[in-house]
Amino acid sequence: MGLKDITEGYDPEHECKTPGAIFSSHIKGHTVSMSVKLPFKLELTEKEADDLEAEIHYAFEKVLKKYF
């Protein structure tokens, strides 16, 4: 897969909201996973971590719902 394949349909005017973050995804069989290497140490309270986990859950759900 080349850069053209990755950027097809991508808005050239899009401004990155996560500069320096490196996204990695793995899609195989029954599993879809994503990790993000941040350019800084993320320090959260337990409540903030719970909120972030919920937001990530809903974001994945929004993207994956079309496959159900």
pTM score above 0.85: no
Per-residue pLDDT, 2: 67
Domain ranges of the chain: 3-67
Residue 2: partners with Cβ closer than 8 Å, 6 or more residues away = none
Nearest to 27 by CA among 50, 1, 9: 1
Per-residue pLDDT of the chain (68 residues; tens, 9 = 90+): 666 666 677 787 888 999 999 999 999 999 999 999 999 999 999 999 999 999 999 999 999 999 99
Residue 67 corresponds to which amino acid?
Answer: Y
* Pair 36, 23: CB distance under 8 Å: yes
Per-residue pLDDT, 1: 60
